[in-house]
Amino acid sequence: MESVTIKGTSDGLVITLSEGPLHVVLSQMKTQLSSRASFFLGGRVALRVGDRALSEDQLQEIGNDLQSMGMSLWAVEAEHPATLTAARQLGLETHLRPGESVPVPTPEQISREEMVGIVVRGTLRSGQTIHHAGHVTVIGDVNPGAEVVAGGDIIVWGKLRGIAHAGAMGDDGALVCALQLAPSQIRIGSHIARPPDRGRPPKVAEIATIQDDSIVVERWDKRK
């Protein structure tokens, strides 16, 4: 039996901690979350801890760990009275409403061909982010300061000048392409690159892929 299970719902992530030494279970939780940190970035987390007796300090430490990975703790569902009291003292919810289950896939569970894509219409401005487990197509620009994170491919029918992370769950076969590819940062799987300053922005559509263990950008129309 796994010590930590992570389930996606319409209200965010629900993380269930099973029995075992707390420090071991929390270490496993951080390992699982860190392996897909970019995908979970900005997520809300509800903890299910069963009959564990946790203090305010322990819950606060868990919340700080989640915050360091870009997530926020908003609820703790528990059976132990001390844990419920501690959660309420910290202003956390203690009752989870039934939420629509959303799969949290791993690269082993879903192929790129089976991924579901979404289409985002309009320009993404600074501070806006899109996170999706499948492919993402943006019909519009991705401005500096905006971010697109996808489990699959990223296609921008416009100017890509923000951050793009394709294959965010470890898929090095993903790609990023745009009518004008000039991102502040580009990532594919575990690879990261900042495109060189080419002076003028490109005038042709380009595509970025992993070749020979590095990110390579080439003209879209020259792809075989």
* 119/89 same-domain check: no
Domain that includes residue 164, residue range = 112-222
Angstrom distance (rounded) from CA 123 to CA 172: 27
Task: State residue 113's pLDDT score.
Answer: 64
Residue 151 lies in a domain: yes
Is residue 162 situated within a structural domain?
Answer: yes
* Number of domains the chain contains: 2
Rounded average pLDDT over 166-175: 86
Q: Are residues 50 and 117 both part of a single domain?
A: no
CATH code of the domain containing 178: 2.160.20.70
Same-domain check for residues 138 and 92: no
Residue 70 sits at φ, ψ, to 5 deg, of: 85, 20
pTM for the full predicted model: 0.56
Q: Residue 27 belongs to what H/E stretch?
A: helix 22-35
In a domain, 169, yes or no: yes
pLDDT digits (tens, 9 = 90+) for 55-90: 999 999 999 988 888 788 999 999 999 999 999 999
- Which of 46-55, 98-107, 119-128, 205-214 has the lowest average pLDDT? 98-107
CA distance linking residue 126 with residue 105, whole number of Å: 28
Residue 173 in domain = yes
Of 102, 135, 159, which residue is a domain's last?
A: 102
Is residue 121, in this structure, part of any structural domain at all?
A: yes
The first and second tokens of residue 145, run together, are 């300061």
